[in-house]
Each structure stands twice: as C-alpha cells, then as structure tokens.
Amino acid sequence: MSCEEVFFQQLREQGFRLTPQREMVLSVLHEIEGFATAEEIYERVSAISSSVDISTVYRTLELLQDFRMVASVDPGDGQRRYELLGLHGHHLHLVCRSCGEIIGVELGAIEPFADRMKKEQGFDLAVEHLSIPGLCRACSRD
C-alpha cells in the first residue's frame, strides 16, 4: 500500500475527510523528498492549484504529524522544516549553520550518548526531534 493510500485510509478510519488540498500537500511532500518550509510547500501547492491558503498547509502538516507521516525540525533560524517520513522512520538531523543543508542520520549514532544522559542525568532524549547545528563538510572547508 502506498504512502498516500495509508494516509487516506487512516483519515477515513478516524472520521477525517479526504480533500484535494490534503492530497496536494502530500503529493508535494513526495516530490520534494527532503526538507521543506511551510512556505516552500505552499508555493508548490499554489503552482498546482491557486487559492489554496497557507493556513491550510499548516493545518495539513499538523495533521500529517499526528499521523506520524511527517516530522518537523526547528533549525533555530525561525523557520521550521517538514519532512515526509518514508519507510525509514525518524532520524536525527545535522543542520549546517552556513548553507542550511540538513543531513539525516540514523538514530543509532546517538544512542551511546542518549544512554549516558539517561544514566547520569535521568534525562530521556527525544532523539526523533533532535536537530544539531554545525558546519557541513563543504562549509567547514572554508
């Protein structure tokens, strides 16, 4: 069953409605295959059908997050990024402070640190919401 079909079925099961707007947002997220701001998604949706409102995009993104089909990261630049969760599920995000590139990394990489914080501080890391600032390979060369 494709990603869209899963979403559409879950919608129905929980009494939500399938609207063209929701279809378009999901389809745009597929096209993008990576991170996008609400604004970028809104522009792409607008290109397909004008007079779709950005507030609908936000509302749909929230819905998709409730369904665990979309994750969002806050890179700290005041503009949240959204990402379609494929079969890979959540990963953590390295955010380049210079060029803005976002690199997805499997959660396993940070597990030793997460375990350490749990043991030393009793702190449960929410790794799926983690975005880590720094400099990507290209930018750290300069």
Partner DNA sequence: TTGTCTGCAAACTATTTGCACCGAG
Partner DNA sequence: CTCGGTGCAAATAGTTTGCAGACAA
Taking CB under 7 A as the criterion, the residue among 10, 43, 80, 136 binding DNA is 80
Options 28-36, 37-45, 100-108, 110-118: segment touching DNA (CB under 7 A):
37-45
Span 60-79, contacts to DNA by CB under 7 A? 60, 62, 78-79
Binding site partner of 120, from DNA, its own copies, none, Cβ cut-off 5-8 A by kind: its own copies
Interior/surface letters 13-38, b for 16+ CB within 10 angstroms, e for the rest: eeeeeeeebbebbbebbeeeeebbeb
Binding site partner of 94, from its own copies, DNA, none, Cβ cut-off 5-8 A by kind: its own copies
59 binds DNA (CB under 7 A): yes
19 binds DNA (CB under 7 A): yes
| Cβ at position 122, least distance to its own copies in Å | 3
| Cβ at position 88, least distance to its own copies in Å | 16
d(CA 24, CA 39): 14
CA count, 13 A, side-chain hemisphere, 121? 8
Neighbours of 81 (CB within 10 A): 21
Residue entry with tokens 């060029």: 99
Tell me which amino acid residue 43 is.
E
